[in-house]
Amino acid sequence: MRSIRTPAAGRTAALLPLLLPALLLASGCSSGSGGGTDGSGGTPSARSVLTGKAPLSKAQLAKALVTDQDLPGWIVQPSQTDRPAETATLTADRPQCQPLADVTSSDPKIHRMAYVGAAFARSTTKSRPDAINQMLVASHAPGDAHKVIDAVRTALGQCTSFTAIDNTGTKTPFRVAKGPAVPTGDAAVSYVMTDAADKKTGAALVTVVQTGDTVTAYLSVKASGGAGEVPVDVARKQDAKLRAVLAKQR
């Protein structure tokens, strides 16, 4: 498989590990109990079928992760390392903004039961793709996935900026703006996080999609700098694969 080169322009490369450090982990799990215009691809009856069961295991999530074969025209590279990044935890200086930091933290308030990650980009003959994406697919205790979406929506109504503090004490100020509609999932939301010190290139689009008791978070940036677009084709296929696995839990 061809490799995916990460963006090199401006501070965008630094944003990848800072904004979504959990996505740089291939897999692992943490146990415990538990905006943008919303897109809704499910129905109440569908949600009742796909929720309330035992959380998907790491092996089940790995089976449900999208691949190159699922997505003609895309390159998908599952993450390979379980070692956490130095900036794995993120704390917002404003409590009402914490749900936005939690999406990008390895230790969110609403715990992930298991998760897998991958990087993906459109295939191209160029030296690097026009945009690079990271994704994290996580299972949650029954009911917690919807709580994640609700918490993000509420935070987006209250937060336009906050400072993120990682576990090394490094502080990064972010501006937050609601993102575009996300036409998939039982519920979904997106938002743009911009490094206040580099408004031109230091931005990323964060997309959060609920499928039953799972949440898939996407981070999208342009190779030239700035926020990318919602990876709709990938998100829809990931939603479909998760539904297939969750349906077997019935």
> Tell me: the pLDDT tens digits for 71-129?
999 999 888 655 444 447 889 999 999 999 999 888 899 999 999 989 898 887 676 77
Q: Enter the CATH code of domain 12-247.
A: 3.40.1000.70
pLDDT at 127: 66
Mean pLDDT value of segment 131-149 = 94
Predicted TM-score of the model (pTM): 0.82
The closest alpha carbon to 205, from 35, 10, 9, belongs to: 35
Asked whether 239 and 187 are in contact (CB, 8 A), the reply is no
The first and second tokens of residue 212, run together, are: 């039953």
Q: What is the largest CA-CA distance in the chain?
A: 49
**Closest by alpha carbon to 230, among 135, 145, 148?**
135
For the chain, what are the domain ranges?
12-247
Q: Which band of pLDDT confidence, cut at 50, 70 and 90, is reported for residue 250?
A: low
